[in-house]
């Protein structure tokens, strides 16, 4: 969440920054009003508590000194003050609860250098890498290629779990696993591998900014108050929740392979064929905790690592600078990596590399102790998809399809494929 002190010291600038994300000023004004009410109310409550305590002492003293009438008068005043205190404490709790809810829903401030815009139509293409010259044999969508090669079985997945739950078979399944191991190996030089739980508590989802806003997009197990993670970002962010880290430890780097689960509740009207939009998929995530001074370099590193893996696979890609109107709830700055899929004739987002400033870490209470001394500081968080399987899988089988209908996968994946890198049609 944003630092509540911004509402006290820089309200106009905060409203102006959030307006770049389309946030109405009335929401911020209401939060500032509630913050004032809570602080004023707390001062009054503290004063009344002191009065009640003092009255109790005076009642006891009057009784010890044999002054029953004075003691009774003081007791009555104490009861009246106590009733007033109880009412104010209830009002204070309600105001504090409303303020907390608002702060959880107000988005992060966009970075000053994030491009302005209203929607994804205003995103800025930073650069495009790779040639896009294709034969007719590559202009076949992956769902047709997968069915012909027996490596993608959408019908069986739908029978088992419903639509948008694809099933990969044979070399198709091996390719998905190979991509994950490939991504883990490429980042193992600097990132600690984690295998986190894929079911997490509500507080864990809230810490990364998924709750309360995106509850409809997540799968919940209500009986146990657990949620299936939409991304490994969620548990990785909370590894150091509630902790104070020594600045010398920063930046902290984690990576994780996990399955990811998303309802895709807002996918109506979008292309959901094949692997373009699915409810369950595998992904390798890279994440860092760092200081504000380290954040820019770390953002560049994560972007270079994610795009480097796509380049190593020989896929044309482009880097897109996400405009303020398209930035997510928690994001201060974000770059997407999109690959071109010739069979679909679409640019497919395969990675978002994001800087969250201190928005997530404030929710998760992740702080660090500065080497120079002074008070603890809220850390910055960043993450990116090192490799998300479905759309990369789709782009690979379309790009590397041969005239005879086979798929010859790039050499870099050979060590990870038991059956070799050529996928032939069934005989």
Residues with a known catalytic role: 262, 277, 349, 352, 391
| 157 touches 166 (CB < 8 A) | yes
| 337 touches 310 (CB < 8 A) | yes
Reply yes or no: is the peptide bond before residue 212 cis, omega within 30 of 0. Answer: yes
The β-bridge partners of 199 are 228
Please give the angle made by the CA atoms of 386, 421 and 352, to the nearest 5 degrees: 15
Helix runs in 291-416, H state only: 292-312, 359-364, 389-399
Distance between CA 18 and CA 238 in Å, rounded? 26
Strand ranges across the sheet with 226-228 = 199-201, 226-228, 219-221
The single residue listed with the structure tokens 């870099």 is 412
The tokens describing 419, both together, are 């059956």
The tokens describing 347, both together, are 């640019």
Residues in the chain: 427
Residue 130 CB neighbour total at 10 angstroms: 14
Say which residues have a Cβ less than 8 Å from residue 189's Cβ, sequence separation at least 6: none
């Amino acid at each position: 969440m944003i630092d509540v002190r911004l509402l006290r010291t820089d309200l106009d600038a905060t409203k102006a920054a959030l307006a770049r994300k389309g946030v109405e000023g009335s929401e911020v004004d209401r939060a500032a009003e509630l913050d004032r009410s809570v602080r004023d109310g707390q001062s009054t409550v503290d004063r009344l508590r002191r009065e009640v305590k003092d009255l109790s002492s005076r009642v006891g003293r009057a009784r010890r000194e044999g002054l029953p009438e004075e003691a009774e008068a003081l007791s009555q005043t104490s009861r009246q003050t106590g009733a007033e205190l109880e009412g104010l404490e209830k009002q204070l709790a309600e105001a504090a609860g409303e303020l907390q809810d608002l702060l959880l829903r107000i988005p992060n401030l966009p970075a000053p250098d994030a491009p302005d815009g209203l929607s994804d139509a205003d995103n800025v293409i930073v650069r495009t890498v790779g040639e896009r010259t294709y034969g007719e044999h590559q202009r076949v969508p992956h769902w047709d290629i997968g069915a012909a090669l027996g490596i993608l079985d959408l019908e069986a997945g739908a029978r088992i779990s419903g639509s948008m739950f694809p099933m990969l078979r044979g070399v198709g399944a091996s390719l998905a696993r190979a991509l994950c191991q490939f991504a883990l190996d490429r980042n193992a030089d600097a990132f600690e591998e984690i295998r986190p739980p894929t079911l997490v508590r509500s507080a864990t989802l809230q810490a990364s900014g998924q709750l309360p806003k995106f509850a409809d997009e997540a799968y919940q197990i209500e009986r146990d108050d657990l949620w299936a993670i939409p991304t490994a970002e969620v548990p990785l962010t909370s590894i150091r929740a509630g902790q104070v880290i020594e600045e010398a430890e920063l930046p902290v780097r984690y990576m994780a392979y996990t399955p990811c689960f998303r309802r895709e509740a807002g996918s109506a009207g979008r292309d959901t064929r094949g692997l373009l939009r699915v409810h369950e998929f595998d992904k390798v995530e890279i994440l860092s905790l760092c200081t504000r001074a380290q954040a820019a370099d770390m953002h560049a590193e994560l972007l270079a690592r994610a795009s480097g893996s796509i380049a190593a696979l020989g896929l044309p890609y482009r880097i897109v600078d996400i405009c303020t109107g398209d930035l997510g709830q928690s994001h201060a700055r974000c770059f997407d990596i999109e690959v071109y899929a010739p069979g679909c004739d679409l640019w497919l987002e395969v990675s978002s590399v994001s800087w969250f400033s201190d928005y997530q870490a404030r929710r998760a209470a992740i702080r660090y102790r500065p080497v120079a001394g002074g008070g603890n500081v809220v850390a910055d968080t960043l993450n990116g998809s090192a490799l998300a399987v479905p759309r990369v899988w789709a782009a690979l089988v379309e790009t590397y399809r041969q005239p005879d209908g086979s798929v010859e996968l790039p050499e870099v994946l050979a060590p990870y494929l038991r059956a070799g890198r050529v996928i032939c049609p069934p005989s």
